[in-house]
Amino acid sequence: MPNLTSVLELHIDLWGFPAESCLPLIRSICHNFQKTLRILCLAGDTDSYRLLMEDCHLEFDTLTEVHFELASSASRMQASEADSKILRDVVAPFIGRHAPSLEVFRNWCWAEVDVSDFYAYLAQVDFQKLTTIRIGTAFNKLTHDPTTLKSFIRRNSKTLTRLELRLKPDRAQLDPSVETPLGEWLIDFVGEGIYFPKLQTLEIYPTNTDNGYRALLVLIQHTSATLRDLVIRDRYFTPPQAKEVIDATAQTRLRFFRMGAEQLDLELFDLIARRQEEIHRLWLTVSATVGDGEVRFGNPSGALS
């Protein structure tokens, strides 16, 4: 592939596919793209990641973005120490080697694997340019030590312009008590004085706990000078809570605001209008108490997914 010298973005999807069969092709691809590639997106199980990073020797000169989606191994449907070990000893060092140029880190984890040691490793890495952290994983997969994720974010908090924490625990709808540890983690997170002087986009699941709710309000207040986009996922606020959240944004200048509420009425719209005169896009999700539905305003073409 000597003519493919201008490729900037590469996606390798190995869902349920035997990675061994395409190793020669991937080696050739990586060799040709080594100097030009900026964005790498990988999807598969931990065995696929091990093959790609160890056998293919994935290395790129100036990666700026890495996007990882991780599913359970077809050979190990249950949580396994082997999966955690691959994340810690193979995937995390790969990220570490490219850390000086990385600006965006995204990790969606659907696998039954403890990611605590993975983030413990990343918390020790010197990311000099990291502006975006996007994490989607069930909080109860941080079984060994959930503080490692907090340490990773804290280390990079001064350079972040976007933080996405989609940590809704597994089985939360069946057993609301599983959200308690995440709510406690969030309130500890904001209570440690982590400073985000450049944060413009915050996307978060605040849980349905009081601790999570209070942590959300503190985060909004602490980032009010710079916050432009606020996405609050999967929680429907009561009318008093919705008012308090909107009041908390009064010192921000939001362009995009997404929130769930139990009720939708003119009073809520009037409050948003008074607090956010410069808002361009508004996305309100209404809960089952008044009928399931979503109300969106503005141009949806740039909506966060």
Per-domain residue ranges of the chain: 9-236
Per-residue pLDDT, averaged over 88-111, amounts to 94
Q: What is the pLDDT of residue 303?
A: 38
Sequence-distant (6+) residues with CB within 8 A of 88 are: 117, 118, 120, 121
Structure letter (DSSP) for residue 174 = T
188 pLDDT more than 50? yes
264 pLDDT more than 90? no
Per-residue pLDDT, averaged over 236-245, amounts to 95
Q: What is the pLDDT of residue 140?
A: 86
Q: What is the pLDDT of residue 81?
A: 83
- Tell me the CA distances in angstroms from 156 to 75, 97, 124, 193, one per residue in order: 35, 16, 11, 14
301 pLDDT more than 70? no
Q: What is the pLDDT of residue 297?
A: 54
* Of the candidates 268, 196, 273, the residue with the CA atom closest to the CA atom of residue 237: 268
Return left, alpha or beta for 234; rule: phi > 0 is left, psi -120 to 50 is alpha, else beta: left
Per-residue pLDDT, averaged over 95-117, amounts to 93
* Of the candidates 60, 109, 117, the residue with the CA atom closest to the CA atom of residue 86: 117
Grade residue 154 by pLDDT with cuts at 50, 70 and 90.
very high
- Tell me the CA distances in angstroms from 103 to 29, 106, 134, 140, 186, one per residue in order: 23, 10, 11, 27, 24
Q: What is the rounded CA–CA span in Å between residue 135 and residue 67? A: 10
* Of the candidates 103, 29, 91, 24, the residue with the CA atom closest to the CA atom of residue 65: 103
- Percent of the chain residues past pLDDT 90, beyond the cut: 59
Q: Which residue has the higher pLDDT, 42 or 265?
A: 42
Question: Environment class of residue 10 by beta-carbon count within 10 Å: exposed (0-12), middle (13-18) or buried (19+)?
Answer: middle
State the angle between helix axes of 239-248 and 210-222 in degrees (0 to 180), rounded to the nearest 10. 20
Largest distance between two CA atoms of the chain: 62
**Are the CB atoms for 235 and 206 separated by under 8 Å?**
yes
Q: What is the pLDDT of residue 212?
A: 97
Per-chain mean pLDDT for the chain: 87
129 pLDDT more than 60? yes
231 pLDDT more than 70? yes
59 pLDDT more than 90? no
53 pLDDT more than 80? yes
State the angle between helix axes of 180-191 and 210-222 in degrees (0 to 180), rounded to the nearest 10. 30
Sign of CA dihedral 52, 53, 59, 65: positive
Q: Which residue has the higher pLDDT, 121 or 114?
A: 121
Q: What is the pLDDT of residue 206?
A: 96
CATH architecture, domain defined by 9-236: Alpha-Beta Horseshoe (3.80)
Per-residue pLDDT, averaged over 160-181, amounts to 90
Give the angle 191-192-194 at the CA atoms, nearest 5°. Answer: 110
Grade residue 296 by pLDDT with cuts at 50, 70 and 90.
low
Top mean-pLDDT range of 19-28, 51-60, 239-248: 239-248
Q: What is the pLDDT of residue 299?
A: 46
Q: Which residue has the higher pLDDT, 102 or 294?
A: 102
* Of the candidates 197, 195, 217, the residue with the CA atom closest to the CA atom of residue 206: 217
Strand pairing of 293-297 and 281-286? Answer: antiparallel
Per-residue pLDDT, averaged over 210-236, amounts to 96
- Tell me the CA distances in angstroms from 82 to 43, 78, 89, 145, 154, one per residue in order: 18, 11, 10, 17, 28
Q: What is the pLDDT of residue 305?
A: 42
**Are the CB atoms for 194 and 221 separated by under 8 Å?**
no
Q: Which residue has the higher pLDDT, 162 or 291?
A: 162
Look at the chain and count its residues: 305
Per-residue pLDDT, averaged over 235-255, amounts to 96
Per-residue pLDDT, averaged over 210-234, amounts to 97
Per-residue pLDDT, averaged over 289-295, amounts to 51
Q: What is the rounded CA–CA span in Å between residue 142 and residue 298? A: 37
